[in-house]
């Protein structure tokens, strides 16, 4: 199926749905789907609220509306975040679109209990833990009516297949990190910081163990060795893509047929 086929199928399903969630994998076009649904129901849904996790996501809706000549819908839309949802008066709203509906929490329960209109949820990360508050909220207010998984998207060539490669980094042992406290200042190393937080993780329990793990992760994000390795890999991949582009239009190199992927891939494998 193509992306257009999927959206046409979903819109047909939503014709008979007042409250439901569409779980589309990445690149499935959730925003455009929401706009198309608004357009199809423009005669009945005059007052619309779109809820998103971040203000920056509002720009995506606006850009998509302009791109597909649906700007008129923007005059009807009130944008808000999940954080601000409880502050709104939803009494006169005809429909709410929840972008990333898995962001709903139990704190929204009282607000949505009072809402009598339609709800359409959009997500690429459907809650699957039936004991979680995310699953409870989605199932209560907009149960999933259609799923399109990443595997299906890969099979249909909508989403690129991928693989995860773990790149190990040698943590620096040199004492070149300055630590300043109210009563003392000293120099330490990446390895010493890593070992400190690893010990805290190993000796802590429950919530404190989770906090220690998060602190270790935050500390490692600032490691220079990690930054240098990431820069090296990005530069190498950039060279790889540049070489791909250079050879993509050539069928012969030195009179010999060349695959545009084999030669650059050697460069990437060397780096990884």
Q: Is a pLDDT exceeding 90 seen at residue 141?
A: yes
pLDDT at res. 243:
66
pTM for this model (two decimals)? 0.64
Q: What is the pLDDT of residue 132?
A: 92
CATH classification (class only), 3-155: alpha beta
**Of 156, 150, 146, 154, whose CA–CA distance to 33 is shortest?**
146
pLDDT band, very low/low/confident/very high, at 40 (cuts 50, 70, 90) = very high
Q: pLDDT averaged over the chain?
A: 85
For 47, the token pair is: 């007052």
- Per-residue model confidence (pLDDT) at position 155: 84
pLDDT tens digit string along 89-117? 999 999 999 999 999 999 999 999 999 99
CB atoms within 10 A of CB 3: 17
Give the residue extent of every domain in the chain. Answer: 3-155, 177-222, 225-271
The tens digit of pLDDT for each residue in 213-262 reads 999 988 888 888 888 888 888 888 777 667 656 555 444 444 444 434 33
pLDDT digits (tens, 9 = 90+) for 183-227: 899 999 999 999 999 999 999 998 899 999 999 988 888 888 888
């Amino acid at each position: 199926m193509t992306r257009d086929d999927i959206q046409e199928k979903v819109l047909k399903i939503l014709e008979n749905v007042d409250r439901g969630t569409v779980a589309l994998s990445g690149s499935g076009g959730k925003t455009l789907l929401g706009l198309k649904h608004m357009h199809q129901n423009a005669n009945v849904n005059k007052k619309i609220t779109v809820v998103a996790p971040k203000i920056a996501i509002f720009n995506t809706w606006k850009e998509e509306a302009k791109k597909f000549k649906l700007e008129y819908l923007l005059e009807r839309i009130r944008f808000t975040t999940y954080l601000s949802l409880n502050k709104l008066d939803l009494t006169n709203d005809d429909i709410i679109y929840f972008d990333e509906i898995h962001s709903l929490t139990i704190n929204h329960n009282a607000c949505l209990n009072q809402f009598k209109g339609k709800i359409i949820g959009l997500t690429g990360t459907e809650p699957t833990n039936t004991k979680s508050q995310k699953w409870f909220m989605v199932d209560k207010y907009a149960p999933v009516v259609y799923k399109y998984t990443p595997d299906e998207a890969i099979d249909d060539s909508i989403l690129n297949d991928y693989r995860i490669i773990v790149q190990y980094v040698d943590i620096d042992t040199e004492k070149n990190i300055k630590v300043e406290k109210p009563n003392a200042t000293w120099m330490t190393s990446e390895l010493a910081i890593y070992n400190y937080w690893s010990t805290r993780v190993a000796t802590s329990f429950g919530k404190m163990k989770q906090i220690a793990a998060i602190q270790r992760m935050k500390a490692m994000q600032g490691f220079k060795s990690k930054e240098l390795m990431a820069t090296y890999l990005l530069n190498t991949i950039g060279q790889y893509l540049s070489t791909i582009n250079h050879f993509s239009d050539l069928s012969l190199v030195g009179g010999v047929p060349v695959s545009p992927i084999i030669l650059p891939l050697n460069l990437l494998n060397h780096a990884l």
